Structure 1
Amino acid sequence: MGKDSKPKDAGGKGKGKAKQGGSGADESASKGKGKSGKAAADGLGTCTYVKARHILSEKQGKINEAYKKLQDGWLSNGDKVPPAEFAKVLAAEYSECPSGKKGGDLGWFPRGKMAGPFQEVAFATQVGATSAPFKSTHGYHIILCEGRKN
């Protein structure tokens, strides 16, 4: 996954949860604190690096199937998905990216390294949370955010 010269809108069914605050992560930083002051506390939109795992599929149906497993296994109970389970149960089975063999692990990456929609969702997803499915120029993704730092 590299930087695209022309990022496309994330659009699609996964837009809601993953793309918080309208135009992406930077908007939450410019708005400042929300009602609870959470924007400053959780670092959304303000960090320089994110550590993430992902699932990439060319077909929307396959990514939706993976997301259904997430919902049935963890999300419906309000639980966070353990990175080891995400890697073993989902990424290894569903991801078509070479990183799928490593459990979808992308390691730490800075702003500006990933394609537009992918970067927006990765930097807008809270640590320990997974994004809803979304589309980028590479296909359909689900991201698990494992960490953030400056």
Structure 2
Amino acid sequence: MGKDSTAKEPSGKGKGKQAAAGGEENASKGKGKGGKAADGLGTCTYVKARHILCEKQGKINEAYKKLQDGWLNNGDKVPPAEFAKIAAEYSECPSGKKGGDLGWFPRGKMAGPFQDVAFSTAVGATSAPFKSTHGYHIILSEGRKN
């Protein structure tokens, strides 16, 4: 499938910023289909997430810098309420008005790299910026269930 090559882009960039958020080590564990079950990521049926969507890479990088300066550079997790404030300020998606809240969604509902990152980001962790066909995203994983 073509999804695998685009899914590696977020962790393949190697900026190291995602590791601070706890996402890079989890993303690397989930590369192979067999490896996802070992860490519990990728085995769930539903994910609860928030996101920030921007058309321009520069704007998503500004939002990510705010997340880094406030929490990620200190090794902290971004509180959902604080992520919601940044999503309301930066996101160009209609969900931005709701703090980027996408609620619970099943595997197969979101396309390509978005689904891959959403289902491979640990609960409480924030992904590094990544590109999809809709623009540039940052995801905050809030929950998982089967």
TM-score > 0.5 by shorter chain: yes
* Letter of the structure 1 residue corresponding to residue 123 of structure 2: V
Residues 30 and 36 in structure 2, CA contact (< 8 A), matched pair in contact too: no
Residues 24 and 124 in structure 1, CA contact (< 8 A), matched pair in contact too: no
Deviations 1:53-73 (A, max 9, x none): 000000000000100000000
Cα distance, 1:27 vs structure 2:
4.8
Structure 2 residues not aligned, in runs of 5+: none
Deviations 1:16-60 (A, max 9, x none): 435612774745325x3xxxxxx1xxx211111000000000000
Distance 1:28 1:95 in 2: 33
Distance of aligned partners of 1:147 and 1:107 in 2 relative to their CA distance in 1, 3 Å threshold? same
Partner of 1:106: 102
Structure exhibiting the larger radius of gyration computed from Cα positions: 1
Distance of aligned partners of 1:44 and 1:23 in 2 relative to their CA distance in 1, 3 Å threshold? closer
Query: So what's the TM-score if we normalise by structure 2?
Result: 0.82
Cα distance, 1:106 vs structure 2:
0.2
**Which is helix-richer, 1 or 2?**
2
Residue 48 (str. 1) matches residue 55 (str. 2): no
Partner of 1:35: none
Residue 28 (str. 1) matches residue 25 (str. 2): no
Distance of aligned partners of 1:80 and 1:107 in 2 relative to their CA distance in 1, 3 Å threshold? same
State the SS of the aligned residue for 1:101. helix
State the SS of the aligned residue for 2:35. helix
C-alpha RMSD of matched pairs (Å): 2.2
Deviations 1:89-148 (A, max 9, x none): x10000000000000000000100001100000000010110000000000000000000
State the SS of the aligned residue for 1:70. helix
Distance of aligned partners of 1:51 and 1:135 in 2 relative to their CA distance in 1, 3 Å threshold? same
Partner of 2:55: 58
Query: So what's the TM-score if we normalise by structure 1?
Result: 0.80
User: Size of the alignment, in residue pairs?
Assistant: 134
Match of 2:72 among 72, 75, 78: 75
Residues 56 and 142 in structure 1, CA contact (< 8 A), matched pair in contact too: yes
Identity of aligned residues (%): 78
Distance 1:86 1:13 in 2: 21
Distance of aligned partners of 1:149 and 1:135 in 2 relative to their CA distance in 1, 3 Å threshold? same
